[in-house]
Amino acid sequence: MSSEGFLKEMQTIGEKFLLKLQKLPKAEPVEIVSFCVVLLFIVTVLLLMVIACSCCCYSCCSCDGRPDHRRRKIQVRPIAH
């Protein structure tokens, strides 16, 4: 998918979302609850992705101030007698 096609698709989804939000005050209670559940699911997935990525980057990039022992190479030297 080209970037123009992706942008067009995102614009279409955004327009549908705004239309749904405009119709929400006049909607039935079941429709309002189902919309809120779907919205809560999307927000939860995005939040979990952000948490997972931040935890991964935190442990891999040595952001905690401790050196990362997996990346450090130990040079082995012969014992002098």
Q: Is residue 74 pLDDT above 90, yes or no?
A: no
pLDDT at 38 over 60: yes
Calpha distance 74→13 (Å, rounded): 53
Cα distance between residue 45 and residue 49, in whole Å: 6
Q: What torsion, rounded to 10 degrees, do the Cα atoms 21, 23, 28, 34 define?
A: -30
- The first and second tokens of residue 16, run together, are 């549908």
Q: Give the start-to-end residue ranges of the domains of the chain.
A: 27-58
Average pLDDT over residues 39-47: 93
Q: Which two tokens stand for residue 10?
A: 């995102």
Residue 5 pLDDT > 70, yes or no? Answer: yes
Please indicate whether residue 77 or residue 16 has the higher confidence score (pLDDT).
16
Query: How far from 78 is each of 38, 52, 73, 81, CA to CA, in Å?
Result: 63, 43, 16, 9
